Amino acid sequence: MCGITGYLGFREAYPIVINGLQRLEYRGYDSAGIVITSNDKSKLFKTKGKVSDLKKIAKKNNLEGNLALGHTRWATHGVPNNENSHPHLSNSGNLVIVHNGIIENYDTIKKELIKRGYTFHSDTDTEVLINLIEEVQIKNNCKLGKAVQLALTNVVGAYAIAVYDINKSDEIIVARLGSPLAIGIGKNNTEFFVASDASPFIEYTKDAIYLDDEELAIVKLGKKIRVRKIHDDSIVEPNIQELKLNLEQIEKGGYDHFMLKEIYEQPSAIFDTFRGRLLADKGIIKMGSVDNNITKFLNAKRIIIVACGTSWHAGLVGEYLLEDLSRIPVEVEYASEFRYRNPIINKDDIVIAISQSGETADTLAAIKLAKSKGAFVFGICNVVGSSIARETNSGAYTHAGPEIGVASTKAFTTQITVLALIALKLGKLKGEISTSDFHKYLQEMKLIPSKVEELLKVNHEVEKIALTYKDAPNCLYLGRGYNFPVALEGALKLKEISYIHAEGYPAAEMKHGPIALIDESMPVIVIATKKGHYEKVVSNIQEIKSRNGKIIAIVTEGDTIVKKIADHVIEIPETEEAFAPLLTTIPLQLLSYYIAVMRGCNVDQPRNLAKSVTVE
């Protein structure tokens, strides 16, 4: 979490870094700060709050300078206040740092530095790190790059850092371990950009280097970037990549919020995810990464899916898909639990890691553990070149485009799309799906984007329902089979952006406890599609109704039975049961969105959250 960015070159650095921070705010928005250097003189502004608050503080000052670093924080060590905000200065005031990550042994280092006379103004691990760098530099009388490298060999934890000496305004030192870091390179090395992702600099350059773990880079004006491994000092030839991202993709494009834009992007996101893979008319699913490892997939005794949050919910849908269509046993694990419980992984197991950002620390650690036990790890990621995409043995991108709203929407449906393609492909090859059924599925999958498009027209109906229930203190979401994970996801969406307490349950579990909560003030959202254990769910609806609960039902077009019982119904187009989550989730996303807007919540940046969870 936390976003870092910086500029070194011939342009004014302030506007570039401030804009960059705004683009990185999805990574944390507890506090923000910037340091700008001109002719070896620096100005530092930092504040609790958002980048917009920082702009207000900075604006009355002279902000000239061609070198700057900025930071937007998701608090880990120390409460969000001005002192704990980054950038942090060393005791001499010469060195400045921005940091994303956690230095786990900071307390031991801090005590040692205090013994040597260092003083600290914040509670952060980052201030400890910059003073350690200063101490190492003084002790070894070395250049800054060397001092950073030596200091990092003494720290335990995760970091993406950018450091410079304000008396040497032509150089920034950057390094990473566990937290992402991209470097944008201007023409002939006349300017450089550093950032947690490439979004702060896409309008300036398409040439970028993504540092790997354990790498340190010396970014110096007029010089080629030099990259080294931190521990063994070996030189690394930097891999300059061409960025595919464009500015339009990371702007709101006329929508009030990124979340709404991303909900509406789902028809094209799903289409882009199966484009070139789903060849419905030829009756083929083509996925290079699966084809290249097909023996492993077909011989897999078990698939273990690891993920967090919404991606974990997509994994649950994956369990239904893979077991139902390809008859491979599946276990779905929270990455955070998996990594710490000495899991049994056999050599015929495949681990599938799902992550939108590709940077989630727990998922990354689960992958490393699975690999260390000899498993073949397949990634389903959205962010190209992300740590998880690089760490896995093979994988498939979701092609959803940048997801900026903190609440995940199009990532969920596109992850399910990839999982459905894999399940269908394996099912067909294993002889579990007949050729005619396979063709039926492929033709139906092709129609999903237009069905989602159609379904999005329910927005006004959903808005009215939102108005009725926006003040509810609690909410229950129920679904069965393929729609059970959708119920979990619907509840997560509501709680994270509207702060209404919500829970998702398999509909039949209601009678084992949650039914006690039901009274006339309890909205219950029930997914009751025709092909998903319909009669059973109808019985569950009756049980709620007889206790005066309020029913909002998601039903298949043309439903007549639930319509008579429910207080509100939202119709979805008919589809194969296996694809139902791609549709049933849409009205739930809209419902959370409208309720959150009506409650005056910050939809794109809900409190206490961050988009990319790079800490445990």
- Indicate which residues carry an active-site annotation: 2, 611
Tell me whether residue 110 or residue 495 sits nearer to ligand F6R (CB atom): 495
Tell me whether residue 305 or residue 541 sits nearer to ligand F6R (CB atom): 305
- The answer to whether residues 502 and 491 touch, using CB atoms and an 8 Å cutoff, is yes
Stretch that binds ligand F6R, among 155-163, 304-312, 508-516, 524-532 (CB under 6 A): 304-312
For residue 488, the surrounding DSSP H or E stretch is helix 484-498
In the block, tokens 């760490």 appear at 391
- For ligand F6R (CB under 6 A), the number of binding residues is 14
Alpha carbon distance 467, 480 (integer Å): 27
Q: Is 398 in the site for ligand F6R (CB under 6 A)?
A: no
Tell me whether residue 34 or residue 613 sits nearer to ligand F6R (CB atom): 613
Tell me whether residue 169 or residue 356 sits nearer to ligand F6R (CB atom): 356
CB of 419 to ligand F6R, least distance (A): 14
Tell me whether residue 58 or residue 497 sits nearer to ligand F6R (CB atom): 497
- Interacting residues of 111 by C-beta distance below 8 A, sequence separation 6+: none
Q: Is 407 in the site for ligand F6R (CB under 6 A)?
A: yes
Stretch that binds ligand F6R, among 109-117, 349-357, 500-508, 527-535 (CB under 6 A): 349-357
CB of 486 to ligand F6R, least distance (A): 14
CB of 311 to ligand F6R, least distance (A): 4
- DSSP codes, 19-83: HHHHHHGGG--SEEEEEEEETTEEEEEEEES-HHHHHHHHTTS----SEEEEEEE--SSS-SSTT
Tell me whether residue 311 or residue 575 sits nearer to ligand F6R (CB atom): 311
Tell me whether residue 321 or residue 366 sits nearer to ligand F6R (CB atom): 366
| Residue 123 CB-density burial (10 A; 0-12 exposed, 13-18 middle, 19+ buried) | middle
Q: Is 100 in the site for ligand F6R (CB under 6 A)?
A: no
Length of the chain: 616
CB of 543 to ligand F6R, least distance (A): 30
- Interacting residues of 242 by C-beta distance below 8 A, sequence separation 6+: 206, 207
Stretch that binds ligand F6R, among 76-84, 351-359, 504-512, 538-546 (CB under 6 A): 351-359
- Interacting residues of 233 by C-beta distance below 8 A, sequence separation 6+: 149
Q: Is 326 in the site for ligand F6R (CB under 6 A)?
A: no
Binders of ligand F6R among residues 217 to 246 (CB under 6 A) are none
For the chain, the 3-state helix, strand and coil shares in percent, each to the nearest 5, are 40, 25, 35
Binders of ligand F6R among residues 57 to 76 (CB under 6 A) are none
Tell me whether residue 186 or residue 379 sits nearer to ligand F6R (CB atom): 379
Binders of ligand F6R among residues 353 to 382 (CB under 6 A) are 355-357, 360, 363
Mutual orientation of helices 410-429 and 266-274 as an angle, nearest 10°? 30
Q: Is 613 in the site for ligand F6R (CB under 6 A)?
A: yes
Q: How many CB atoms lie within 10 A of CB 169?
A: 19
CA end-to-end span of the chain: 10
| Residue 590 CB-density burial (10 A; 0-12 exposed, 13-18 middle, 19+ buried) | buried
Stretch that binds ligand F6R, among 85-93, 305-313, 454-462, 591-599 (CB under 6 A): 305-313
Q: How many CB atoms lie within 10 A of CB 509?
A: 14
- DSSP codes, 187-205: GGGS-EEEESSSGGGTTT-
- The answer to whether residues 334 and 318 touch, using CB atoms and an 8 Å cutoff, is no
For residue 242, the surrounding DSSP H or E stretch is strand 241-242
Q: Is 205 in the site for ligand F6R (CB under 6 A)?
A: no
Distances (CA, A) of 342 to 41, 329, 338, 372, 529: 52, 20, 7, 12, 39
Binders of ligand F6R among residues 408 to 427 (CB under 6 A) are 408
Nearest of 323, 393, 325, 396 to residue 354 by alpha carbon: 396
CB of 310 to ligand F6R, least distance (A): 3
CB of 269 to ligand F6R, least distance (A): 14
Alpha carbon distance 484, 606 (integer Å): 25
CB of 306 to ligand F6R, least distance (A): 10
CB of 29 to ligand F6R, least distance (A): 15
CB of 335 to ligand F6R, least distance (A): 8
CB of 151 to ligand F6R, least distance (A): 30
State how beta strands 67-73 and 31-38 pair. antiparallel
- The answer to whether residues 453 and 505 touch, using CB atoms and an 8 Å cutoff, is no
Q: Is 308 in the site for ligand F6R (CB under 6 A)?
A: yes
Binders of ligand F6R among residues 539 to 578 (CB under 6 A) are none
Alpha carbon distance 380, 279 (integer Å): 20
Tell me whether residue 358 or residue 549 sits nearer to ligand F6R (CB atom): 358
- The answer to whether residues 497 and 601 touch, using CB atoms and an 8 Å cutoff, is yes
Which of 28, 157, 238, 309 binds ligand F6R (CB under 6 A)? It is: 309
Tell me whether residue 355 or residue 417 sits nearer to ligand F6R (CB atom): 355
Binders of ligand F6R among residues 476 to 495 (CB under 6 A) are 492
The tokens describing 441, both together, are 């599925």
> By Cβ distance, which residue is nearest to ligand F6R?
309
CB of 405 to ligand F6R, least distance (A): 8
Nearest of 16, 31, 5, 6 to residue 610 by alpha carbon: 31
Alpha carbon distance 126, 244 (integer Å): 33
Q: Is 149 in the site for ligand F6R (CB under 6 A)?
A: no
Q: Is 310 in the site for ligand F6R (CB under 6 A)?
A: yes
Binders of ligand F6R among residues 492 to 521 (CB under 6 A) are 492, 496
Distances (CA, A) of 470 to 240, 495, 567, 584, 592: 49, 12, 15, 20, 9
Binding site for ligand F6R (CB under 6 A): 308-311, 355-357, 360, 363, 407-408, 492, 496, 613
